[in-house]
Amino acid sequence: MQNTVTPTHCPYCALQCGMNLTPAPDGTVEVSERADFPVNRGALCGKGRTAPAVLSTSVRLTSPLVRSGGELVPASWEEALDRIAEGLSRTRTEHGPDACGVFGGGGLTNEKAYTLGKFARVVLGTSQIDYNGRFCMSSAAAAGIKAFGLDRGLPFPLEDIPKSGCVILVGSNLAETMPPSLRFFNELRENGGTLIVIDPRRTKTAEQADLHLAPRPGTDLALALGMLHLVVAEGRTDEEYIRERTTGWEEARAEALAHWPEYVERITGVSVPELREAVRMFCEPESAMVLTARGPEQQSKGTDTVGAWINLCLATGRAGRPLSGYGCLTGQGNGQGGREHGQKADQLPGYRKLDDPAARQHVAEVWGVDPDSLPGPGRSAYELLDALGTDIRALLLMASNPVVSAPRAAHIEERIRSLDFLAVCDVVLSETAALADVVLPVTQWAEETGTTTNLEGRVLLRKQAITPPSGVRSDLEVMHELADRLGVEKGFPTDAEEVFEELRRASAGGVADYSGITYRRLAEENGVFWPCPADGDTAEDVHPGTPRLFHDRFATPDGRARFAPVAHRATAEEPDEEYPVLLTTGRVVSQYQSGAQTRRVDELNAAAPGPFVELHPRLAARLGAAEGDPIAVVSRRGRAVAPARITNSIRPDTVFMPFHWPGEGRANTLTNPALDPTSRMPEFKSCAVRVETVRG
């Protein structure tokens, strides 16, 4: 592969920016602009530009490690795989199949996510599988399914954004999370459209907005209801659309009318004139969109909060109309595909429900097993991690680092330490891998071929560009070898395209139908939007894919969208005398998720070397804290310490911490695992804390 230019995609976020990779004679890999991919047209953020550094980092794992005498020591692949098979097999025999847990990630390719779900259910026979995407966009997924009968992050391509009349971005800081996507919003404004940003912080994204509303964390459900109240009161509803294309309006309308703007102002801190202005900006143009991200979604009422924003879109006739509607900006690289192929606790490939007899029958036929042998739904991610060491005695973990990224992280770390057996597949010794009994070094994005599905529902081919270092193997090979050792000799191919061919059959007829997509098409067409059924007798009878959803009908049984009858409720943990301040958490531009990869890149570390506590000058003055002083943030779950960053861009009643780091400054030590009753999403975005200066 020397000196060959390979068009491929970034390993990190759900934008899945296109890039060209060229191996250099010195063993490094050069990234160059790939202008033909319409999402980023060549632009990359610092994370994407420096991604090859992780391929050759000096701390790259190139040998399996097994625990011996309390230490992780190098071992052969045979010994390491035998140890994992033995650990899982013993657990299953002694405690039953559900004592084996499997934890995946939104960074796994479609092929790996599919195979991991199949491995858990067919080889281990366990119901206990979930993944870190539960902590990402699961509330938006649940709300989308309730309202539209289908969850695809964006039901339209990003290229529609500049042509819309108004976009409301709720709880999304794209300037830090997906910088190349900002051009769509810049073009929107150049074309005369307006941008409203709703965020408790005046982020770099909010600075670019025509209107920035800064509600208290955890109150955007009330904010959406207040806007809907004004929409009704000002006669801005689209009655014909409501009548023809929706159900449930009367109940949703009654809830909105109960949320008087003055009441909403008291809850949110957003003034009535600001609310009125937002409603005017949203309702006056012919087209408008609402896009949510982790802000409204990572709440213990995340599903209802997203439902309230969808209600606003439905009442104004936006969803399923050109250049309009509701969308979720999925975060992780394969956050979309990762939730479609069966690594979720309650789902089978094709985004099918695990408790649906017809779905079980279809997938069991593809897998060549008895449908009755498939376990039922298991625990959600936090509940699974919380059960480690008790009901769940052994865990196989891929592409995740919950010691840093799970809520109430010190407790979860303790649960992981209490396991009888832990096996981790990773590229570096993450904080979670460091606790394992066996660590397997696996291939990375540029070293293997596979598909991902970006936040638009566009399925993409990520091509192998370089030869992997000796000593590492792909996750598919790991599952093949383990299946073989656990008595399932067939059904776990190591070739990604072969897995994809099976995935196509398994997804056929499902919501997320990939059956008309082939590797050849993906290479030629620069991605294909699902659903893409195989229309004719052969897979090559080409369906064009579906960039835009819902224009004719919604994916509900009656084709109508459903309003959510939602009302404001408080966050799970409101401030009180002991914990008087709110903590919200989020991201910085130079780190990604738990930082397992990006903390290994010098340039990114220099730009974002560690955590910080962002606080308002008034709060800092009350504490007697100066810029850079160590600040202790204490919640009911623990204490984290990081330097003060004093800024007017945050509300005086709120502090902010990014969550990318382990150790003393680990933000997730503090966060609240209160779960949304529908999506089982923890409340990362709001908890009560007290803030103290740390005296030397």
Which residues are near ligand SF4 by CB under 6 A?
A: 10, 12-13, 15-17, 40, 44-45, 47-48, 178-180
- Beta carbon of residue 458, minimum distance to ligand SF4 (angstroms, whole number): 13
Dump strand ranges (E) for 232-324. 246-247, 289-292
Per residue, what are the HEC states of 362-418? HHHHHHCCCHHHCCCCCCCHHHHHHCECCCECEEEEECCCHHHHCCCHHHHHHHHHC
CB of 9 to ligand SF4, least distance (A): 7
- What is the Cα–Cα distance from 354 to 348, expressed in whole angstroms? 6
Nearest residue (CB) to ligand SF4, 546 versus 590: 590
CB 395 within 8 A of CB 432: no
CA dist., res. 682 & res. 679, Å (int): 9
Could you tell me which residues come within 8 angstroms of residue 390 by beta carbon, excluding any fewer than 6 positions away? Answer: 418
Q: Residue 688 Cβ, how far from ligand SF4 at the closest point, in Å?
A: 32
174 or 640: whose CB is closer to ligand SF4?
174
Tokens 């965020």 identify what position? 199
Smallest separation, CB 8 to ligand SF4 (Å): 11
Cβ pair 428, 469 in contact under 8 A: no
The distance of closest approach from Cβ of residue 400 to ligand SF4 in the complex, given in angstroms and rounded to an integer, is: 18
Nearer to ligand SF4, 17 or 167 (CB): 17
Q: In whole angstroms, what is the distance from residue 586 CA to residue 22 CA?
A: 33
CB-based contact 149:557 (threshold 8 Å): yes
The least distance separating ligand SF4 from the CB of residue 133, rounded to whole angstroms, comes to 16
Judged by beta carbon, residue 179 or residue 217, the one nearer ligand SF4 is 179
DSSP reduced 3-state for 233: helix
Nearer to ligand SF4, 10 or 231 (CB): 10
Residue number of the CB closest to ligand SF4 reads: 48
Closest separation in Å from C-beta 12 to ligand SF4: 3
Nearer of residues 13 and 419 to ligand SF4, judged by Cβ: 13
Q: How far is the CB of 180 from ligand SF4 (least distance, A)?
A: 5
Burial class (CB in 10 A: 0-12, 13-18, 19+), 188: buried
Q: Which residues contact 194 (CB under 8 A, 6 or more apart)?
A: 165, 166, 167, 188, 210, 211, 281, 285
Which tokens sit at 258? 């109960």
Q: State the pairing for strand pair 630-635/687-693.
A: antiparallel
Residue with tokens 């008291």: 266
Pick between residue 421 and residue 592 the one whose CB is nearest to ligand SF4: 592
* Number of other CB atoms surrounding residue 4 within 10 Å: 10
CB closer to ligand SF4, 44 vs 572: 44
Beta strands 129-131; 65-68: pairing state: unpaired
Sheet architecture: strand order including 29-32: 6-9, 18-23, 29-32
The alpha carbon of residue 592 and the mean position of all alpha carbons in its chain are separated, in whole angstroms, by: 12
Q: How far is the CB of 503 from ligand SF4 (least distance, A)?
A: 23
The answer to whether 97 touches 396, Cβ cutoff 8 Å, is no
Minimum distance from residue 16 beta carbon to ligand SF4 (Å): 5
Least distance to ligand SF4, CB of residue 602, Å = 17
Q: Which is nearer to ligand SF4, 13 or 561 (CB)?
A: 13
Shortest Cβ distance from residue 43 to ligand SF4 (Å)? 8
Nearer to ligand SF4, 109 or 507 (CB): 109
> Nearest distance from residue 120's CB to ligand SF4, in Å?
28
Shortest CB 49 distance to ligand SF4, Å: 7
Shorter beta-carbon distance to ligand SF4: residue 41 or 553: 41
Q: Which of residues 106 and 226 has its CB atom nearest to ligand SF4 in the complex?
A: 106
Choose between 14 and 306: whose C-beta lies nearer to ligand SF4.
14
- Which residue's structure tokens are 């394992």? 436
Nearest CB to ligand SF4, comparing residues 105 and 531: 105
Query: 531: cis peptide before it, omega within 30°?
Result: yes
φ/ψ of 423, rounded to 5, equals: -120, 135
User: What Rg, from alpha-carbon coordinates, does the chain have?
Assistant: 24
Separation between Cα atoms, residue 624 and residue 636, nearest integer Å: 23
Q: Which is nearer to ligand SF4, 403 or 604 (CB)?
A: 604
Contacts of 587 by beta carbon, 8 Å cutoff, 6+ apart: 173, 176, 177, 658, 659, 660
Report the nearest approach of ligand SF4 to the CB of residue 632 (Å).
Answer: 32
Query: Phi and psi for 196 in degrees, rounded to 5?
Result: -110, 130
Shortest spacing between CB 17 and ligand SF4, in angstroms: 3
* Tokens representing residue 63 in the block: 């040998």
Alpha-carbon span 655 to 665, nearest angstrom: 14
| Nearest of 282, 298, 173, 169 to residue 227 by alpha carbon | 282
Pairwise CA distance, residues 122 & 598, whole Å: 34
Nearest to 541 by CA among 569, 517, 519: 517
Nearest to 625 by CA among 639, 644, 641: 644
Distance separating alpha carbons of residues 121 and 344, to the nearest angstrom: 11
Closer by beta carbon to ligand SF4, 219 or else 449: 449
At 145, list the tokens.
Answer: 């399914």
